Amino acid sequence: MLRLFLGLFLVMTVGLVAALQTVEHTFNALLDNQMQAYNREAVRGQAWSLVEHMRDQQGAAREQQLEALRPHYGLSLKLIEADQLDLSTEEKAELAQNLLVIRDNYTQFISNIDGGSQLLSIKLPPEPSLMPFYIAVAYAMLAVLIGIVLFFWVRPHWRDLEKLRLAAERFGDNDLSVRIQLSKRSNIRDLAEHFNLMAARIESLIANQRELTNAVSHELRTPIARLSFELDQLKQQPDASQNRELIADMYADLGELEEMVSELLTYASLERGATVIKRENIQAANWLDSVVGSVALEAEAAGVQLLIGDCRLDTVRIEPRFMARAVINLLRNAIRYAEQRVEVTLVRSGDYYEVRVNDDGPGVPVEGREKIFEPFSRLDASRDRRTGGFGLGLALVRRVSQSHGGQVEVGESVWGGASFRMTWAHLD
């Protein structure tokens, strides 16, 4: 705190002194003519009176007259020759007009007497000898007052900054739950709130990373175990036809691993914000047809009718690759649980685009409608190649929607099944 206080005190004190001096010299330069006129008017009466007493006298008599008048004026009076003053052209013009010449920062006034070479010099009384001391004391008092005010201003700021420093230190020591609580009157309250948001975000990311790591290790065990078992069987199996079946199963397991890794990498890139979403204007109908076409064979194999219900848009502004992946995941999820039909629509509602996927399956229980969007989360405990999945598809849908400034939710369709509604912001 001492270093901060002294630094601010020094800067403010030096700055104030410099500002005062700058203002003084600036206004003196700008108001020089007005100040000369003011001071000339202030001394003009005394100068006229002195000149009137000496106008008709010459030589020694004039000097004696000035000597007699000097005690009656609180001024330094002196007769001086014009050639001793090194008068400028402007000063000579002022004397010719019977104006007082002002010198030495408005403390010396030179007056014409009778138009001759002899002039009258009038000097104001000198400042008191203690004036520099008084000025120094005044500046010292000003510095002390600044220091007192600054101390009471710095103290709460330092207290709050110290809280922020200690919180950052604890956070760096892996205490991810630390948060900062400051008074509503604190000037760094916004900074503390942003720190809390950052801490919460980092804590959430680390927690998700841990969960993801644990889930991945668990999910990889099943296909790897199957592959190991199939390899053992392949070694012991002399029948070539059965070998082909085992090899096909192994290829299926490898495909499953590849798909899992692909979805995991996509999800991780969106989760950590490493992927830049660059939107493009896409022909809506053609794009939706291609997306539906990507899963048409899967729907046919499952005995599910896949329909495009409505697409009342000419163009849609999206990142086509990620958005296509998200819609495909929604369609695959619907096909997996549908009885007979799945319908997809693409419309615009206000400032948002909306993709809705409806199916006639068993639907999603109310208590599980939020859980299904978490990574590696499944409502059914069992999983096989037909009804399972990795628990990443819907989590990826949510991330894609959020990266586009939207959200995804699930409700009940008109057929009694699930209705997934994904929205994202419209940008011109």
pLDDT in tens, 325-367: 889 889 989 998 999 999 999 998 888 889 999 999 998 888 8
Query: Taking 60 as the threshold, does the pLDDT of residue 274 lie above it?
Result: no
Q: How far apart are CA 180 and CA 416, in angstroms?
A: 48
Q: How far apart are CA 366 and CA 356, in angstroms?
A: 18
Between 209 and 195, where is the model more confident?
Answer: 195
Task: Using alpha carbons, select from 289, 285, 417 the residue that is nearest to residue 341.
Answer: 417
CB 97 within 8 A of CB 111: no
pLDDT, averaged across the chain: 81
Query: Taking 50 as the threshold, does the pLDDT of residue 277 lie above it?
Result: yes
Q: Which pLDDT score, from 0 to 100, does residue 341 have?
A: 93
pTM attached to this predicted model: 0.49
Q: How far apart are CA 4 and CA 151, in angstroms?
A: 10
| DSSP state letters, 290-308 | HHHHHTHHHHHHTT-EEEE
Query: Taking 70 as the threshold, does the pLDDT of residue 75 lie above it?
Result: yes
Q: Which pLDDT score, from 0 to 100, does residue 385 have?
A: 39
Query: Taking 90 as the threshold, does the pLDDT of residue 115 lie above it?
Result: no
pLDDT in tens, 203-241: 877 877 776 666 666 566 667 777 777 777 777 766 666
CATH of 280-425, one of 3.30.420.40, 3.40.50.2000, 3.30.565.10, 3.40.50.720: 3.30.565.10
Domain ranges of the chain: 31-123, 199-271, 280-425
Q: Which pLDDT score, from 0 to 100, does residue 55 have?
A: 83
| Coil, strand or helix at 380 | coil
Backbone angles phi, psi at 424, to 5 degrees: -155, 155
Q: Report which secondary-structure segment, H or E, holds 343.
A: strand 341-349
Average pLDDT score over residue span 33-55: 86
Q: Which pLDDT score, from 0 to 100, does residue 72 have?
A: 84
pLDDT in tens, 366-400: 888 888 887 766 665 433 334 445 567 788 888 88
Query: Taking 60 as the threshold, does the pLDDT of residue 176 lie above it?
Result: yes
Q: Which pLDDT score, from 0 to 100, does residue 389 have?
A: 54
| Domain 199-271 sits in CATH 1.10.760 | no
Least-confidence region, from 43-52, 61-70, 252-261, 304-313: 252-261
pLDDT in tens, 292-325: 998 999 899 999 999 988 887 888 888 888 888 8
Q: Which pLDDT score, from 0 to 100, does residue 334 have?
A: 92
Q: How far apart are CA 293 and CA 120, in angstroms?
A: 110
Q: Which pLDDT score, from 0 to 100, does residue 382 have?
A: 36
Query: Taking 50 as the threshold, does the pLDDT of residue 106 lie above it?
Result: yes
Average pLDDT score over residue span 24-28: 81
Q: Which pLDDT score, from 0 to 100, does residue 335 have?
A: 92
Name the token pair of 374.
Answer: 């978490």
Instruction: Spell out the residues 6+ positions from residue 309 whose beta carbon is closer than 8 angstroms to its own.
Output: 343, 344, 345, 358
Least-confidence region, from 41-55, 85-99, 265-279: 265-279
**Cα–Cα distance list, 230 to 223, 246, 298 (Å):** 10, 6, 26
Q: Which pLDDT score, from 0 to 100, does residue 421 have?
A: 93
Q: How far apart are CA 152 and CA 129, in angstroms?
A: 37
Q: How far apart are CA 176 and CA 179, in angstroms?
A: 9
Backbone angles phi, psi at 358, to 5 degrees: -115, 145
Q: At what angle do helices 32-54 and 2-30 cross, to 10 degrees?
A: 50
Within 10 angstroms of residue 113's Cβ, the number of other Cβ atoms is: 18
pLDDT more than 70, % of the chain: 86
